Amino acid sequence: MSDDELDREILKRVPMDRRAFIRRAVIGAAFAAPVVASFAAGELAGGDRASATSEPAFVSNQEIPPVDMPVLGHRGYVPYAYHPYQVGLDD
Amino acid sequence: MTEPVGSVLLSAALIVRDEADHLRACLDSLDGLVDEVVVVDTGSTDGSATIAASAGARVAEHRWHGDFSAARNAALDLCRGRWILYVDADERVRAGTAAATRAVLETSDALGLLVEFTPATGFTWYRECRLFRNDPAIRFERPIHERVVPAIERLGRARSTGGATGPGSVPGTGLTGGAVWGRVPLHLHHLGYDDDRPSRHRRDLPLLEGELARRTGDESTWYRLGVARAGLGDDRGAEEAWREGARASAAEGDTHPLGGMSLVELVRISEEQGEDPGDLLTGALDRFPRNRLLVWHQARRLLATGAPRSAAALFAGLAATDLEALANEGLAYDGRLFGSWAHDGAGAAAFALGNYEAAAAEYAAAEAAEPGVLGYRVKRVAATRRAEGVRSCTEDAATVPTRRAG
């Protein structure tokens, strides 16, 4: 997939109400090579659960791509760590 | 005639109930490692007992009454090896470790041995006691999350007092108290969390609640109750359990790793609700500075509050984590924390600092660590184009004629 194709693919995945904003932002941007990708990063970052894990501090600043906390696929809640039962820590 | 205890080197002890899907592969993985397999069936209706018997295991029945320790101890009672490995049907022994493990067993003077244990696919590993002497004093305790370590430690102390065995400990594991511990190069991989989690949570829920009725202040059980509730979709109940876990942990004043995990979940919930977890996070890190998930949250917060250099240092530290050393700390983490998540964060920090080439490299590393996540590619392309834009602007500036003075 070329980067242009990637842009189109991203726009397809971004919700309709955000597409107009992203297009305007791209057209009006100052840099020579701003792309859909740079503005859509916040929409798609974090894989499976991007839209559910909003991070207002990042989303409000489109200049920094977000760092979201993804989960393991679509299987519901999954712990982020495990602890061994067979150690003598909690007696 | 029944052979006496000690007639073979190593027995494997399993308890099973409807494990037909897993059991054959588990028994196959034990081949060459153990001399005998004891399987205690607690009420299977799927032919598990037949599978075990056909694989050469000694099979016994045990009536289930909600007590894992009772079932496991029934299996231990039947073992004839000088050592016992307890293993579950949804676990696999990693190939290639049998000979080295048996060599340790032939010469070790330890009472209990730690194996390497991966609790779920994609997670880092920790050390756990799964091998111990076949001694009637070493038996499991507690109906759920049964534990054998206290019995080993008691036996170690008794032997130490009697002068038979000196006290010992394994630094970094929390294993102390007079028992003599050792390690074996055996690696177990647990697959049970990879499939039907809800049924496991439904099974565990009443047992965890029963455990908490007996031990109200046990932060690790509160954390696990929160996990079970969350896994069954009860988010509010999960949050309540984690709050109780955090309270219990603070009240006890210790630093049990799962007390830290309750705090991790509360920080996550706070963020998802759009709140600033600052005070909560700071307090959590004061008590659990080595909890890498808290470190990761802290790095994200530093980034969000305009401190990208400090954030970059924390993300870089996560990416450089020595997983061998980490195994001694008592937690196995989602492995992405040290791969794609760390590089993703480092990319954002570099981006915020205007170092777009470095950001692109970090996002490329995130992509390599976790292929298929479109977000990493998006960010890598964005960073690459920013870098190209900067280069283009710099080159344009270099070609503008300089006005001569005078």
Q: Give the closest of A38, A66, A90 to B218, CB-based.
A: A90
Nearest to A42 by CA among A83, A12, A10: A10
B290-406 fold: 1.25.40
* Domain B196-288 and domain B290-406 have a common topology: yes
Q: Token digits for B372?
A: 């298929």
Within chain B, what is the greatest distance between any pair of CA atoms?
113
- Across-strand partners of B13? B38, B86
Stretch 51-110 of chain B: residues touching chain A, C-beta under 8 Å: none
Tell me the C-alpha distance between B298 and B56, whole Å.
Answer: 53
Strand partners, B84: B11, B132
Nearest by CB to B378, from A40, A67, A88: name it. Answer: A40
Best CA proximity match to B349, nearest among A16, A40, A24, A66: A66
CB half-sphere exposure, B50, CA atoms < 13 A: 5
Which residues of chain A does B122 touch, with a Cβ-Cβ cutoff of 8 Å? Answer: 72
Chain A residues near residue B370 by CB distance under 8 angstroms: 47
Q: Where are chain A's structural domains? A: 3-59
**Where in B303-342 does DSSP place strands (E)?**
332-333
Query: Whole-angstrom Cα distance, residue B117 to residue B252?
Result: 28
Cα B328 to Cα B286: distance, rounded to the nearest angstrom:
20
Per-residue pLDDT of chain B (406 residues; tens, 9 = 90+): 467 777 899 999 999 999 999 999 999 999 999 999 999 999 999 999 999 999 999 999 999 998 999 999 999 999 999 999 999 999 999 999 999 999 999 999 899 999 999 998 999 999 999 999 999 999 999 887 789 999 998 898 887 765 434 334 443 444 444 447 899 999 999 997 766 678 888 988 998 998 899 888 888 889 999 999 998 989 999 999 999 999 988 876 666 677 788 999 999 899 888 888 999 999 999 999 989 999 999 999 999 899 999 999 999 999 999 998 998 888 899 999 999 999 999 999 999 999 999 999 999 999 999 998 888 999 999 999 999 887 777 666 666 565 554 4
CA dist A50 and A40 (Å) reads: 11
Torsion (CA) B99, B101, B107, B110 in degrees, nearest 10: -170
Measured between CB atoms, which of B231, B293, B300 is closest to A67? B300
Q: How far apart are CA B14 and CA B186, in angstroms?
A: 17
Most distant CA atoms of chain A, gap in Å: 63
CA distance A43 to A21: 12
Interchain CB distance below 8 Å, A84 and B268: no
Query: Which pairing describes strands B8-16 and B36-41: parallel, antiparallel, or unpaired?
Result: parallel
Tokens 């040290």, residue?
Answer: B338
Residue with tokens 């037949």: B50
Name the amino acid, one letter, at B346: A
User: Which residues in chain A have their CB less than 8 angstroms from residue B347's CB?
Assistant: 65
* Amino acid in the structure at residue B231: G
Q: Closest Cα of chain B to A5: distance in Å?
A: 12
Asked if B287 contacts B253 with a C-beta cutoff of 8 angstroms, the reply is no
ipTM of the complex: 0.74
- Phi and psi at A75, nearest 5°, equal -95, 20
Q: Which fold has domain B196-288?
A: 1.25.40
Q: What are phi and psi of B268, to 5 degrees?
A: -60, -45
For domain B8-194, give the fold: Spore Coat Polysaccharide Biosynthesis Protein SpsA; Chain A (3.90.550)
Separation of alpha carbons B305 and B292, rounded Å: 20
Whether A79 and B198 lie within 8 Å, measured CB to CB: no
Q: Do the chains contact at B145 and A85, CB–CB below 8 Å?
A: yes
Other Cβ atoms less than 10 A from the Cβ of B343: the count is 26
Segments making up each domain of chain B, as ranges: 8-194, 196-288, 290-406
> CB-CB: which of B123, B272, B375 is closest to A41?
B375
Cα-Cα-Cα-Cα dihedral sign, residues B314, B316, B320, B323: positive
Give residues 211 to 270 of B whose Cβ lies within 8 Å of A. Answer: 218-220, 227, 230-231, 233, 238, 256-258, 261, 264, 268
Token pair in block for residue B402 = 């300089």
